Chains A and B, each alone.
Chain A
Amino acid sequence: MVHQYKLNGYNIVLDVDSGSIHLVDDLVYEIVSLYEKSDRDGIVHALSDRFDHDDIRSALDDVQELVDQQKLFSRADYAARLFDGSRSGASVESQSKEQYSLIESPSCPYGDLATSYRKDNDIIKALCLNVAHTCNLDCSYCFAGQGKYKGEQALMSLETGKKAIDFLIECSGSRRNLEVDFFGGEPLLNWQMVKEVVAYARSIEKETGKHFRFTLTTNGILIDDNVIEFTNKEMHNVVLSLDGRPHVHDRFRVDIGGKGSYARIVPKFLELVRRRNRGTYYVRGTYTHLNTDFLNDILHMLDLGFREISMEPVVCRPEEPYALTDEDIPIIKAQYEKLAEEMLRREREGDPFEFYHFMIDLEHGPCIYKRITGCGAGTEYLAVTPSGDLYPCHQLVDDPSFKIGTLDDGVTELDLQNEFRKCNVFARDACRDCWAKLYCAGGCAANAFHMSGSLLGTDKFGCELFKKRIECAIMIKVAKAVASTT
């Protein structure tokens, strides 16, 4: 499969199955669009009114060379190799189609591959610890329902936190790198417990042969020197919630009394980042129908001094007044394009910044298994409530029908887990013919469920935005490659 597009003056051709990316001139761009519809003479004839015959034939030779190298119009014939069990540490061959014939995809064997890979590696390596089902802000757009997830306020006990660490180690098999995200609600409302859980995990890293990577996601209200010092020492990543301009941030991110939080948190975020010594962080915003000009919010974050930024579309019921609409899509796409141009401009001027959704690692990015097996919700990744219940994903904690087990009993709802095991890039009809599938791995199961009522449905809105973000991300790579040669 080939995807071709023009952006910021570049003609870009993606060969999906091989992962190849080509910057081409106008003639090759036209040839690629005709290649599978016409033979050589037909292409020459179709383009002869605009291009020289010799040029067309020469360009056709260049295109054919890429085809011969399996860098253009390639077929995913690596499936056979992956299926034959040659991958180290797993015998895919022994247990795929008969035992786990969960996906009918005769034209696309990767569906079985992805499913069997999940079964083959039935281990858990990441937990989202909802350490506080309560919050000191009252943000009306919060998917977690002001931290309570439609339940009662609750804090996770130290005993439960330690039990979660033990559970993760026990279920992680041979995996060395384990991830724990302190989430909520607002995790700083249970800060002492967070610190003690981190200390406990660190104390058994050596004897268990594990390496923990912790992440803290916070609204910032309770950040103080102690939090900054501990976070910057122990947290692999820290996510700081800021929506951008003061009036945008304070529209939703208010305290119980309705007062905006911008003025209280920004100085704290700045101090935490200043003392982070280049450690990873993200200032993470949410944009809604009410600020589809969110580029201005990103620019505001840059003006404040932040350089690692994430900005996400709001997740909410479509009937909410701030929900994004179909009419917003072209506006949002244009914002992403302008953002990409701004990133390139600042890079040229020596003041670069990172935008999470434009980060793409072409040379050292994920392998084919990662690209086809989805996000891992319900299989390698679980969310833990304050009482120790297990859910497939933090976005599904508000729905008791998704309770998948407990820390005491492990995963007990195996049928439900199998539903998540099926959530891979080839399980969704809309994904099979999508050029972006190996960049998104099938997308977010929770968003698909909330938008379509099915885990195997599609969040069409999210897909549209994702594809635009990837087009922008690749364009940035192309522009940098060109700049490096001139």
Chain B
Amino acid sequence: MSDKKRIITLPTRKLIDADGRDGCGECQTSCQSACKTSCGVANQQCEQERD
């Protein structure tokens, strides 16, 4: 976590500098989990990171 005087920036995955491994498609399908009636992607882990 970077700390400025008035601003604390949380560590987050870079989206702008997406690297060549992005888009591998190995991650979980959005709805194939606990919901089945509403979906998002924010809670899903990247398999590249997991590996």
Interface residues of A (CB under 8 A from B): 17-25, 27-28, 58-59, 62-63, 65-66, 70-71, 74, 76-78, 81-82, 86-90, 117, 121, 123, 125-126, 128, 143, 175-177, 179, 181, 183, 213, 215, 217, 237, 239, 282, 284, 286, 310, 312-313, 315, 356-357, 359-371, 374-377, 380-381, 393-395, 438-441, 443-444, 447, 462, 466, 470, 473, 477-478, 481-482, 484-485
Tell whether, in the assembled complex, residue A59 and residue B38 are in contact, meaning their CB atoms are under 8 Å apart: no
Tell whether, in the assembled complex, residue B36 and residue A481 are in contact, meaning their CB atoms are under 8 Å apart: no
Tell whether, in the assembled complex, residue B16 and residue A18 are in contact, meaning their CB atoms are under 8 Å apart: yes
Residues of A near B34 (CB, < 8 A) are: 237, 239, 282, 284, 310, 356
Partner of A181, one of B13, B26, B32, B47: B32
Query: Which chain B residue shows the least CB distance to A473?
Result: B42
Query: Which chain B residue shows the least CB distance to A176?
Result: B26
Residues of A near B5 (CB, < 8 A) are: 58, 62
**With A183-B36, A365-B41 already in contact, 5 other A-B pairs whose C-beta atoms are closer than 8 Å:** A62-B6, A78-B16, A237-B34, A284-B35, A370-B23
Top-8 shortest CB links A-B: A369-B23, A359-B43, A282-B34, A367-B22, A364-B49, A126-B29, A375-B30, A310-B34
State the Cβ distance, A162 to closest chain B Cβ, in Å. 20
Tell whether, in the assembled complex, residue A377 and residue B43 are in contact, meaning their CB atoms are under 8 Å apart: no
Interface string of B1-20 (1 = CB under 8 A from A): 10111111111111111101
Tell whether, in the assembled complex, residue B11 and residue A362 are in contact, meaning their CB atoms are under 8 Å apart: yes
Tell whether, in the assembled complex, residue B13 and residue A363 are in contact, meaning their CB atoms are under 8 Å apart: yes
Can you show 6 pairs from A to B with CB atoms below 8 A apart?
A27-B6, A78-B17, A177-B26, A179-B29, A371-B15, A470-B40
Partner of B6, one of A28, A71, A370: A28
User: In the complex, A377→B20 CA distance in Å?
Assistant: 25
State the Cβ distance, B31 to closest chain A Cβ, in Å. 5
- Count of B interface residues, CB-CB < 8 Å: 48
Tell whether, in the assembled complex, residue B13 and residue A380 are in contact, meaning their CB atoms are under 8 Å apart: no
User: In the complex, A477→B43 CA distance in Å?
Assistant: 12
Residues of B near A183 (CB, < 8 A) are: 36
Partner of A444, one of B4, B16, B17, B38: B38
Residues of A near B11 (CB, < 8 A) are: 362-363
Count of inter-chain pairs, beta carbons less than 8 A: 230
Tell whether, in the assembled complex, residue B8 and residue A482 are in contact, meaning their CB atoms are under 8 Å apart: yes
Residues of A near B45 (CB, < 8 A) are: 361, 364-365
Residues of A near B41 (CB, < 8 A) are: 365-366, 370-371, 439-441
Residues of A near B26 (CB, < 8 A) are: 175-177
Tell whether, in the assembled complex, residue B29 and residue A117 are in contact, meaning their CB atoms are under 8 Å apart: no
Partner of B13, one of A71, A365, A393: A365
User: In the complex, A30→B23 CA distance in Å?
Assistant: 37
Tell whether, in the assembled complex, residue A364 and residue B50 are in contact, meaning their CB atoms are under 8 Å apart: yes
Q: Is the interface of B mostly helix, strand, loop or mixed?
A: loop
User: In the complex, A462→B40 CA distance in Å?
Assistant: 11
Tell whether, in the assembled complex, residue A18 and residue B14 are in contact, meaning their CB atoms are under 8 Å apart: yes
* Contact flag A381-B32 (CB < 8 Å), given A62-B4, A89-B24, A362-B10: yes
Tell whether, in the assembled complex, residue A438 and residue B32 are in contact, meaning their CB atoms are under 8 Å apart: no
User: In the complex, A333→B48 CA distance in Å?
Assistant: 34
State the Cβ distance, B19 to closest chain A Cβ, in Å. 9
User: In the complex, A381→B29 CA distance in Å?
Assistant: 7
Tell whether, in the assembled complex, residue A125 and residue B7 are in contact, meaning their CB atoms are under 8 Å apart: no
Tell whether, in the assembled complex, residue B39 and residue A23 are in contact, meaning their CB atoms are under 8 Å apart: no
State the Cβ distance, A145 to closest chain B Cβ, in Å. 14
Find the residue from A88, A213, A370, A380 having the highest chain B CB count within 10 A. Answer: A370
Find the residue from B14, B28, B34, B44 having the highest chain A CB count within 10 A. Answer: B34
Tell whether, in the assembled complex, residue A485 and residue B1 are in contact, meaning their CB atoms are under 8 Å apart: yes
Residues of B near A360 (CB, < 8 A) are: 42-43
Partner of A477, one of B10, B28, B32, B50: B10
Tell whether, in the assembled complex, residue A312 and residue B16 are in contact, meaning their CB atoms are under 8 Å apart: no
State the Cβ distance, A484 to closest chain B Cβ, in Å. 8
User: In the complex, A17→B18 CA distance in Å?
Assistant: 12
Residues of A near B48 (CB, < 8 A) are: 367
State the Cβ distance, B44 to closest chain A Cβ, in Å. 5
User: In the complex, A18→B10 CA distance in Å?
Assistant: 12
User: In the complex, A356→B41 CA distance in Å?
Assistant: 11
Tell whether, in the assembled complex, residue B7 and residue A23 are in contact, meaning their CB atoms are under 8 Å apart: yes
Residues of B near A58 (CB, < 8 A) are: 5-6
User: In the complex, A143→B21 CA distance in Å?
Assistant: 38
Tell whether, in the assembled complex, residue A365 and residue B46 are in contact, meaning their CB atoms are under 8 Å apart: yes
Residues of B near A485 (CB, < 8 A) are: 1, 3, 8
Tell whether, in the assembled complex, residue B3 and residue A217 are in contact, meaning their CB atoms are under 8 Å apart: no
Residues of B near A87 (CB, < 8 A) are: 18, 20, 22-23
State the Cβ distance, B2 to closest chain A Cβ, in Å. 9
Query: Which chain B residue shows the least CB distance to A356?
Result: B34
